[in-house]
Amino acid sequence: MKKTEAYDIKTTPAVVTDEDIRVIGVCPNKETLKDALREAGVS
């Protein structure tokens, strides 16, 4: 099964980190991506 099907993602792009959808429907800029990873506990 594809990850997009497993998470029922209908739009792209999406950023899924630690089984949680962090960003969906937009292409994140560098700062948004860094914030999403920090919130997920990834340094």
pTM exceeding the 0.75 threshold for the entire prediction: no
Domain with 15, as residue range(s), is 3-39
Cβ atoms of residues 15 and 29 within 8 Å: no
- pLDDT tens for the chain, 43 residues long, are 677 788 887 766 667 766 777 777 777 788 988 888 888 887 6
Domain count, the chain: 1
Give the side-chain half-sphere CA count within 13 A for 22: 18
| 3-class secondary-structure state, position 8 | coil
